[in-house]
Amino acid sequence: MSETKGHFERGRWVEEPEPAPAAPTTGSTGRHQPGTPDAHEQIEEAARKAGEDLERAINAWAESARKALQKR
């Protein structure tokens, strides 16, 4: 008979989920490892693109609000 880990909750036995396996800390995952110059460059590029996308969205929203106010 195998025992499962768990606890009673409102009079019923609730099994506790198995802990997730730890992420690998070594080895190649096909991506650049954090802390390397390549990874740093990729992060900077992604942040720059996100900033540009956000700026475009804000400008579009502001233009839309400006047009709506002019229609009044």
Would you place residue 20 in the very low, low, confident or very high pLDDT band (cuts 50, 70, 90)? confident
Residue 9: its H or E element: strand 6-9
Report yes or no: 36 and 43 within 8 Å, Cβ to Cβ.
Answer: no
Residue 69: its H or E element: helix 37-71
Would you place residue 61 in the very low, low, confident or very high pLDDT band (cuts 50, 70, 90)? very high
Mean pLDDT of 32-61: 89
- pTM equals 0.47
